[in-house]
Structure 1
Amino acid sequence: MERKDFETWLDNISVTFLSLTDLQKNETLDHLISLSGAVQLRHLSNNLETLLKRDFLKLLPLELSFYLLKWLDPQTLLTCCLVSKQWNKVISACTEVWQTACKNLGWQIDDSVQDALHWKKVYLKAILRMKQLEDHEAFETSSLIGHSARVYALYYKDGLLCTVFSVDYNDELDILVSGSADFTVKVWALSAGTCLNTLTGHTEWVTKVVLQKCKVKSLLHSPGDYILLSADKYEIKIWPIGREINCKCLKTLSVSEDRSICLQPRLHFDGKYIVCSSALGLYQWDFASYDILRVIKTPEIANLALLGFGDIFALLFDNRYLYIMDLRTESLISRWPLPEYRKSKRGSSFLAGEASWLNGLDGHNDTGLVFATSMPDHSIHLVLWKEHS
């Protein structure tokens, strides 16, 4: 057939083909394939591969590729990295994808770091640590042995573990504050070692004192003011404190006015929120208004005591286990068995270690001490983060 005649025939048959239904088109193609030889089938195979197996990550602009990748979950992305070197290169270069994946796991993100490969590595480390938490394998235990009598009180700050009772201090103010079983809070001059003031008003043992700089404004305080919190079995008292020594209680917080509900002997205050646990759950107060923001209940486990509270996680415990709660879902995501020990009523025989990870893991702050408690055999039982493998 001459070229001109062939082109005319091809135009006519194309018009007819386009007028067919999908089923008729399929039957036509099946018939043509059955009539084709090896040369035609090879030609068809090569063209189909080009049409149907286009590498969109290679063909699309990088910005569009990144936009599409954002819709995939991290596990799928990791699988896609195995497709080819090109796919691995493009996917690993998408900073926003891996930063978002880390954020969703509750990890702290420094947005100034735009190295995508760094965040992919951080995600891989994060997913391993979260898997260890879910499988209750993130910690290990150790003991400190050397006391000849039982240790009744522990204190931990800046990496130092000491045996003292209910104190906090501030070098800038040259002040140390202490709570006591005589229902008082004492303010001491650090450099001189003299008692500057005795704060009264509690009717139970003062089991916790916290000295912290305020971060919010209200009618009673301004950002930058130093605030002292003291807690007993039923109440939390808020005191202003600075270079002036004489001060009066600003506010008293409680869970129940009739004192029917006890507070657990632990207190969290970060300058914006106050958190304490009770038999009804975790209570979180807004420090600007003193209003209760939320009550987090754990119906499956009652009477959990608070060890630490952050933006992402809370560290809790009872007589049998150490628990980690994801505050975004208010669910317990991990637990670690504890040995039999006597939990002191004043809360001085147990404590949390480094707590920055409660605001989000970052791959570096999940090290060192998590929890410590004194034991009847005069030793100190430690729960530590396992080192990254």
Structure 2
Amino acid sequence: MEKVAFEGWLESVSASFLMLNDQQRNQSLDRLISISGAVQLRHLSNGLETLLKRDFLRLLPLELAFYLLRWLDPDTLLTCCLVCKQWNKVISACTEVWQGVCKDLGWRIDESIQDAVHWKNMYLKAKLRMKQLREEDAFETSSLIGHSARVYALYYRDGLLCTGSDDLSAKLWDVRTGQCIYGIQTHTCATVKFDEQKLVTGSFDNTIACWEWSTGAKIQQFRGHTGAVFSVDYNDELDTLVSGSADFTVKVWALSAGNCLNTLTGHTEWVTKVLLQKSQVESMMHSPGDYILLSADKYEIKVWPIGREINCKCLKTLTVSEDRSVCLQPRLQFDGRYIVCSSDLGVYLWDFASFDILRVIKTQDPSSLSLLSFGEVFSLLFDNSFLYVMDLRTETITGRWPLPAYRKSKRGSSFLPGVTTWLNGLDGKNDSGLVFATSMPDHSIHLVLWKENG
């Protein structure tokens, strides 16, 4: 009966349809098609609903699941970890995913560690640290008190800070505890450098001295400059000391004997920085392992070959303006591959193999913003009010920290960076210890340290 009734209804509809004009017939077809489409979509969605309820992470091969997960951003990954225990287990087991997000945050990756949970925890710590930098909560401050006159010179190494003062003393401090380890009587120090056994000081009295920490005795004295000595560096392997002075010269000394081996001329301004370093690259002028001396004044940087030979000629003079209209700031960095110096136009990066300018980083106010230290991932800069962390990949400021009114110095020796390995990429361990130190008008030393990040 149902079949007969349906057939009768169909014949009736068909007859009625044939009686319609073309316009009415087209409208009726469209209505039927739309009803049919809706029914089809309903049927399709009912089938898809069953499929969509399946756990694809559970059904897919693990390698394919890992591949898909690598397309997700870290915040989405963390949200997915909350879906269920199975998802958390799979996502937390994907080493490459968490290594990748750590790299994106500037974390250095030891790929020999294949523990996904380790890298997930590192990411969470890195995310917290970067958040602290943005919110000015990554650092803390302390002070070293003990000098009775202006502190002119600072030098940091392995958790120890050396200070040289106008009170005719030099002190060695444990930055972690704030305790003074050694205090010795010296001349007025314009610059200092030390190691475990000795301290080398350059003075406003035109001399250089080498002191023994344990006894405070003067081991050697170097006389010959006719102006204040603003910078010193030395190398025990070469038995060589170099110095830069207000007399526009650089002198090369025998470290143990104290005699002057050579006087390098050519500067027309105070020589405020000297650096002695091994070359790491090959060129027509030098080979890897050659000792290189860099000396800088207000307008130019000179490159000298320093070896066991006494005489040497300037290899290259680097400037940022031929007419001397742009000043170099009193910070110079050289790691054997690249030369970095800040100027009133921005931060300049030279390739040591070719002496070509590789990069110029222009800041909003380069004449007031000074370079402290330059790494592979981050750079540390400062002005009169703040300490800044710049992400060199984007050349944007990722964090800052307020600074008190510190003493200004045209020579740049009364402020310095502390631990700098984190500038090559955070690794979860090197964001600790001293970040920045500067002398204060009240003769104390202001310290900026990494805040404990649990």
In the TM superposition, 1:311-350 aligns within 5 A as 311-350=376-415
Determine the structure 2 residue equivalent to 1:5.
none
Determine the structure 2 residue equivalent to 1:77.
77
In the TM superposition, 1:86-125 aligns within 5 A as 86-125=86-125
Determine the structure 2 residue equivalent to 1:33.
none
Note if 1:24 corresponds to 2:39. yes
Spell out, residue by residue over 1:202-252, the C-alpha distance to the aligned partner (whole angstroms, 9 max, x if none): 121211111111111111111121111111111101011122232221111
Residue 29 and residue 171 in structure 1: after superposition, are their counterparts in 2 closer, same or farther (change >3 A)?
closer
Spell out, residue by residue over 1:59-111, the C-alpha distance to the aligned partner (whole angstroms, 9 max, x if none): 11110000000000011111111111211111111111111101111111111
Residue 318 and residue 29 in structure 1: after superposition, are their counterparts in 2 closer, same or farther (change >3 A)?
closer
Cα distance between partner residues in 2 of 1:326 and 1:137? 17
- Aligned partner letter, 1:370: V
Between 1 and 2, higher relative CO (CA 8 Å, sep ≥ 6) is seen in 1
Note if 1:360 corresponds to 2:425. yes
Determine the structure 2 residue equivalent to 1:56.
56
Q: Is the 8 A contact 1:281 1:303 kept in 2?
A: no
Please report the TM-score for the alignment, with normalisation by the length of structure 2: 0.74
Stretch deviating more after TM superposition (126-135 or 160-169): 160-169
Output the aligned Cα RMSD: 2.0
Note if 1:256 corresponds to 2:321. yes
Q: Is the 8 A contact 1:232 1:263 kept in 2?
A: yes
Determine the structure 1 residue equivalent to 2:297.
232
User: How many Å apart are 1:340 and its aligned residue?
Assistant: 0.6
- Aligned partner letter, 1:113: I
Spell out, residue by residue over 1:114-146, the C-alpha distance to the aligned partner (whole angstroms, 9 max, x if none): 111111111111111111111111111111110
User: How many Å apart are 1:293 and its aligned residue?
Assistant: 1.3
Q: Is the 8 A contact 1:208 1:232 kept in 2?
A: yes
User: How many Å apart are 1:27 and its aligned residue?
Assistant: 6.2
Q: Determine helix, strand or coil for the equivalent of 1:332.
A: strand
- Aligned partner letter, 1:140: E
Note if 1:280 corresponds to 2:345. yes
User: How many Å apart are 1:22 and its aligned residue?
Assistant: 3.5
User: How many Å apart are 1:302 and its aligned residue?
Assistant: 4.2
Cα distance between partner residues in 2 of 1:268 and 1:28? 70
Q: Is the 8 A contact 1:305 1:318 kept in 2?
A: yes
- Aligned partner letter, 1:369: L
Stretch deviating more after TM superposition (72-81 or 150-159): 150-159
- Aligned partner letter, 1:244: E
Spell out, residue by residue over 1:39-65, the C-alpha distance to the aligned partner (whole angstroms, 9 max, x if none): xxxxx9xx9875321111111111000
Q: Is the 8 A contact 1:186 1:195 kept in 2?
A: yes
Residue 52 and residue 244 in structure 1: after superposition, are their counterparts in 2 closer, same or farther (change >3 A)?
same
Determine the structure 1 residue equivalent to 2:150.
150
Cα distance between partner residues in 2 of 1:362 and 1:337? 25
- Aligned partner letter, 1:124: L
Work out which of the two has the higher radius of gyration on C-alpha atoms and give 1 or 2: 2
Cα distance between partner residues in 2 of 1:207 and 1:82? 57
User: How many Å apart are 1:153 and its aligned residue?
Assistant: 1.3
User: How many Å apart are 1:259 and its aligned residue?
Assistant: 1.0
Determine the structure 2 residue equivalent to 1:303.
368
Q: Determine helix, strand or coil for the equivalent of 1:344.
A: coil
- Aligned partner letter, 2:146: G
Cα distance between partner residues in 1 of 2:87 and 2:103? 23
Spell out, residue by residue over 1:275-317, the C-alpha distance to the aligned partner (whole angstroms, 9 max, x if none): 1111111111111111111211112564311110011111111
Which of 321, 324, 336 pairs up with 1:271? Answer: 336
Q: Determine helix, strand or coil for the equivalent of 2:142.
A: strand
Q: Is the 8 A contact 2:343 2:366 kept in 1?
A: no
User: What is the identity percentage for the equivalent residue pairs of Structure 1 and Structure 2?
Assistant: 78
Cα distance between partner residues in 1 of 2:101 and 2:366? 30
Cα distance between partner residues in 2 of 1:29 and 1:125? 46
Which of 353, 358, 361 pairs up with 1:293? Answer: 358
Stretch deviating more after TM superposition (308-317 or 163-172): 163-172
Please report the TM-score for the alignment, with normalisation by the length of structure 1: 0.86
Residue 27 and residue 319 in structure 1: after superposition, are their counterparts in 2 closer, same or farther (change >3 A)?
closer
Determine the structure 2 residue equivalent to 1:40.
none
Q: Determine helix, strand or coil for the equivalent of 2:149.
A: coil
Q: Determine helix, strand or coil for the equivalent of 1:98.
A: helix
Q: Is the 8 A contact 2:377 2:391 kept in 1?
A: yes
- Return 5+ residue gaps in structure 2 as ranges: 1-34, 165-188, 192-230
Q: Determine helix, strand or coil for the equivalent of 1:335.
A: strand
